[in-house]
Chains A and B, each alone.
Chain A
Amino acid sequence: EVQLLESGGGLVQPGVSLRLSCAASGLTFNRYTMNWVRQAPGKGLEWVSGISARGDRTYYADSVKGRFTISRDNSKNTLYLQMNSLRVEDTAVYYCAKDMAWNLGYGMDVWGQGTTVTVSS
């Protein structure tokens, strides 16, 4: 069974850093682009970032560019999101999602259960 399991969320103050992880199992991890998608409380989905199958290309939404860094370790089947200078508006459930192809945007067919990040003073 293909599974994605996020971890690393929590309650933090504005301005601090947090790193999310997503452990993949049941798939050939290094064949697919991976994404982070977030959903603020009561709001819609927002794509945050993507990374190519080999990790050589990264993509970011304007809202997080310069503050968040996506990375992956294909030897550990794990995706990461380093979040710096966190803001109140970054509060959301963060989902890890697998793209259907080695390239970005073809459709996200496997999703994790999400990890909650709350930024509050």
Chain B
Amino acid sequence: QSALTQPPSVSGSPGQSVTISCTGTSSDVGSYNRVSWYQQPPGTAPKLMIYEVSNRPSGVPDRFSGSKSGSTASLTINGLQAEDEADYYCSSYTSGSTVVFGGGTKLTVL
């Protein structure tokens, strides 16, 4: 149950786009479309932003999108806003009938 691999940090200016990668293996991301993304501002509980690779829950802006290629999933945020600054985590279902999270990525809006 090794954690999924995410870059520790990414940054962008308001209005720009950023992409956060999430690399797993054939035992998790590569075999299942049960990949989710969560946003966690400091001191708050996580919030679901993307589920099943590319679906947005009601209320999540369409600036947020998800995709997957092989064993790597990606979260793209278009038109960056100051309120997007937060930690972002990916997660995946695994062949061991568990869930594994990525190590998290800190997004800084410059």
Contact = CB atoms under 8 A, between A and B. Distances in A.
Contacts of A111: 45-47
Chain A, interface SS category: strand
A98 to B, nearest CB: 10
Nearest to A93: B45
Interface string A36-73: 01000000111100100000000111100000000000
Interface residues on A, range: 20 to 34
Given A44-B102, A109-B57, A104 B51 contact: no
Nearest to A98: B48
Interface string B9-34: 00000000000000000000000101
Interface in B60-110: 87, 89, 91-94, 97-104
A59 B101 contact: no
A46 to B, nearest CB: 6
A106 B32 CA distance: 10
Contact of B98 (A60, A95, A109, A114): A60
A10 interface: no
A45 B38 contact: yes
A100 B49 CA distance: 13
B55 to A, nearest CB: 8
Q: Which of A44, A45, A97 has the most CB of B within 10 A?
A: A45
Given A44-B103, A47-B99, A100-B51, A62 B46 contact: no
28 contacts: A37-B46, A44-B3, A44-B89, A44-B101, A44-B103, A45-B40, A45-B91, A46-B101, A47-B98, A50-B98, A50-B99, A59-B97, A59-B98, A60-B98, A104-B99, A105-B32, A105-B91, A106-B51, A106-B52, A107-B36, A107-B48, A107-B52, A107-B57, A108-B36, A108-B38, A108-B91, A111-B46, A114-B45
Interface of A: 35, 37, 44-47, 50, 59-62, 95, 97, 100, 104-109, 111-114
